[in-house]
Amino acid sequence: MIKPPLLLDNAAVRRHLALEALLPAIAQALIDLSAGRVVQPMRTVLELAEPGSLLFVKPARTAGALATKLITQMPGNPARGLPTMIATLLLLDPATGVPLAVMDATWLTELRTAAVSAVATRALRDGSPKRLAILGSGALARSHARALRAVVPLTNIRVWSPTRANAMRCAAEIGGTACADAESAVRDADIVVTVTNASTPVLLGRWLKPGALVHAVGAPRPTWRELDDEAMRNYVIADHRRAAETESGDVILSNSTVQCEIGEVLAGTVQVPAGATVIFKALGQAVEDAVAAQLVYAAATAKEV
């Protein structure tokens, strides 16, 4: 008889997913992805009835995990008192296909996305104090402040959002300063994070400090972008080359060349030019969800015992 899967709500996932365990797991997952040790088809995107509404389906198989994440993006949800994006993850036994757990993947997605940026920061920059700019004021802005603090000292954090009140609220929560415009947030920043819902550029290349590191996290569709052409003329690294070249408007619309994958940098097979201004385009890979879910399940079942 098949045992019913473990059901984990978002609060339970928060309790069981520790950043200190997630960082090395994400690093290894990205190395394995670039080395071809992960089975991960391109995500499926299904348009839904309500304009702008989408369903993303993201499966992945590693040596020890099999998982699929479902994400819905529903622009009308805030008026219903619901989040715009809702994520649910199904974790299966890779040997038998038996469902092990169904979990709310809201916090899992927020933390693993920021963990990818943190892992990349540690690989691409030294550990000296850095100035951080965040364009965007939602959940990913908050998780990035937390994850980046874990890998590099931050001397200050500047936050910009199209909605001034949101920027002020986010800045207060993460110990930063709200900026009236994106340029003032970005100028002289060592690290820039773009986590907006923008479909047209909010970050201009002329604002970037030479040698800056940009984590371009938003704009996950071929016709959307957060960065202008000048920004994209810098050294571009992707979490997954094929995904960036087929799904990222930042890459496609600027005709940029993806120089390498972050997994290759982490494995030491590619050396990034010293002093380069780097654009790290991360689209969020299913393998990251799989290894994060594996950690959650292991922690949850260990506590049960």
In the block, tokens 């590099």 appear at 152
Q: Which of 46-55, 133-142, 167-176, 193-202 has the lowest mean pLDDT?
A: 46-55
Average pLDDT over residues 159-182: 96
Question: What is the pLDDT at residue 79?
Answer: 85
Judge whether residue 280 has pLDDT over 90. yes
* Share of residues in the chain with pLDDT > 90 (%): 88
Judge whether residue 104 has pLDDT over 80. yes
Positions of E strands within 41-140: 44-47, 54-61, 66-73, 85-92, 99-104, 130-135
pLDDT (tens digit per residue) in 184-228: 999 999 999 999 988 899 999 999 999 999 999 998 889 999 999
Q: From the CA atom positions of the chain, what is the Rg in Å?
A: 19
Count CB atoms within 10 A of the CB of residue 204: 15
pLDDT band at 304 (very low <50, low <70, confident <90, very high): low
Question: What is the pLDDT at residue 94?
Answer: 93
Question: What is the pLDDT at residue 154?
Answer: 96
Ordered domains of the chain (ranges, CATH) = 6-108+287-304 (3.30.1780.10), 126-284 (3.40.50.720)
Instruction: Fill in the DSSP letter of residue 273.
Output: P
- What does 134-168 look like in DSSP terms, one character per residue? EE--SHHHHHHHHHHHTTS-EEEEEEE-SSHHHHH
128 vs 136: CA distance, rounded Å: 25
Question: What is the pLDDT at residue 305?
Answer: 45
240 vs 258: CA distance, rounded Å: 9
Residue 68: CB partners within 8 Å, gap ≥ 6? 57, 58, 59, 60, 89, 90, 92, 286
How is residue 302 written in tokens? 């260990």
Question: What is the pLDDT at residue 303?
Answer: 58
Mean pLDDT across the chain, nearest whole number?
A: 95
How is residue 206 written in tokens? 């002329």
Q: State pTM to two decimals.
A: 0.94
pLDDT band at 101 (very low <50, low <70, confident <90, very high): very high
pLDDT (tens digit per residue) in 39-64: 999 999 899 998 878 899 999 999 89
How is residue 208 written in tokens? 């970037």
Question: What is the pLDDT at residue 87?
Answer: 94
How is residue 144 written in tokens? 């990035």
Question: What is the pLDDT at residue 18?
Answer: 96
Q: Which of 52-56, 133-137, 240-244 has the lowest mean pLDDT?
A: 52-56
